Structure 1
Amino acid sequence: MNTLATAPGLEHLATLIVDVAAPIEVGETPGGKRRVIPIVGGTVKGRELTGTILPGGADFQSIRSPEFTDIHARYVIETEQGETVYVENTGIRTGSAQDIAALAQGIPVDPARIYFRSYPHFETAAPRLQWLNTHLFVGTGARHPDRVELNFFLIR
């Protein structure tokens, strides 16, 4: 009898286009250079999760070094059916000091040169989407001057 579990697979959940405003620079703190990027809207497109990103969320960043940024975004998705889903997406973005500096200045950088990974956590009261509360997910991302593009995957 084999008691070892097989490696989990990934299933695409949704692609998110998160529209953002100009960053609010908090400055150097003991936790790194703090920035807050307001989330002003966006879209969500997936087989079981489609809708819009409501304005009012934000991405709370800590730039720990010229190459490394901690990311922690909080926002709400409203589905096409009118359900709401709270999202906390935590991750890291790493790259060369030059590329990270360019992103911070709103200059486009080829996403292939940046390592941007996250683990989104969902909470919802919607009966149809209860499974979001009880599963784990991972994400990939790309930062553009006016938006963040994310792909979220269910870990099977």
Structure 2
Amino acid sequence: MNVADLQNALDDVFDQALIYHAYTDYMRDYEMIIYVTTDPRSGIAPVYLRYLFRYCVEAHARTAIHPEQWRESLDDRLLADPRTHDLEGYTWGARCQWLYPGAEITPDSTRAKEWTEALGIDFHQVRFGTNDGHNTTLVFSDLQVTELPAGYAPFVVKDDTNAT
């Protein structure tokens, strides 16, 4: 993937809602599920997009929440829907993080260069900043963006209780 195409894909989700991020269940690729909306007057329906960072060799997540706010956000009631309580602190139950200030490609990344040399394919480093939740940095080779069908679940739990 070239840098211009990568930047265009990242620009498309600036200030949108990141609702899930983790390694896939097969543990090679990293996925971000993003809820993309526009002004309702535009008539464009919101969509869920899956950003699949292929060959993700590094993923680092760090809180974007100040320690003082963490201290105020330890109550488990903050895990619930924010409409069900009137507590102070970070409401984990909002279940999304806003991609603001958004994604930034790290030009001349030492880590990406090391992986490019080691594997013989191009790697990129991108930092995702949020206004709350977590900031995430990924080192990966390729990005695939797809619109998700209704009901998509990142992990499928298999029932092996009847296996012989």
TM-score (norm 2): 0.30
Structure with the greater alpha carbon radius of gyration: 2
Structure number with greater CO (CA < 8 Å, separation at least 6) is: 2
Normalized per residue, the structure richer in strand is 1
TM-score (norm 1): 0.31
Normalized per residue, the structure richer in helix is 2
